Amino acid sequence: MEDFKPVSAPLSVKSQPVLKASGSEAEQVAEDNSSAAAHDATFLKIEQAGFPLTSPLKAEVLAAPLEVVSDALAAAIEYRDRHEVRNPIGLLRDAISQCWKLGGSEHPKATKAAEPGFKEWFDLAHRLRLVTASQLIGGEQYILTNDDEWEPWSFLAAAFPIARLKRMFNP
């Protein structure tokens, strides 16, 4: 029986070209300069749109087809322009991972407009420290209260109408 000793230094690994099946033959595919340039242009568009370019976001962009990223960026911008967004990076990552499309009905976050009066109500309630977050659950707007309970916005808006919140804010 042979004695095996652990190797203390890492073994060097020679990089191999990526192979792509083409019919019955395999052809070498090198990392294309135009692909790198396309990703750089996409990163620039993302930054110009006001989304901070973090490492996780870069990884999400690199992992997705450029068309998906482009569509998702447009949908995320549309959503952000119509809603209060506290986590723009998370919004864009969701848009990419869920393949949002501009105006696509299969992505309620990208298409559903906020209910009339919601933004004003939420901003007042948040400034009064009555609520901490909001999200759509099953197509209905829910609010996270300071008691860590999710309540339907319709219920809280009835209990605290905007006029009452304004009086509470300016006694």
pLDDT tens, residue by residue, 83-93: 778 888 888 88
Per-residue b or e along 48-65, where b marks 16 or more CB atoms closer than 10 Å to that residue's CB: eeebeeeeebeebbeebe
| pLDDT of amino acid 115 | 66
Instruction: Output the CA torsion 70→71→74→77 (10° steps).
Output: -100
In this prediction, the residues of the chain whose per-residue pLDDT falls under 70 are 1-34, 103-116, 138, 171
pLDDT tens, residue by residue, 119-134: 888 888 888 888 888 8
Phi, psi of 88 (to 5 degrees): -65, -35
| pLDDT of amino acid 90 | 86
| pLDDT of amino acid 43 | 92
Q: Which helix (H) or strand (E) holds 58?
A: helix 55-63
Residue 21, C-beta contacts closer than 8 angstroms, at least 6 positions apart: none
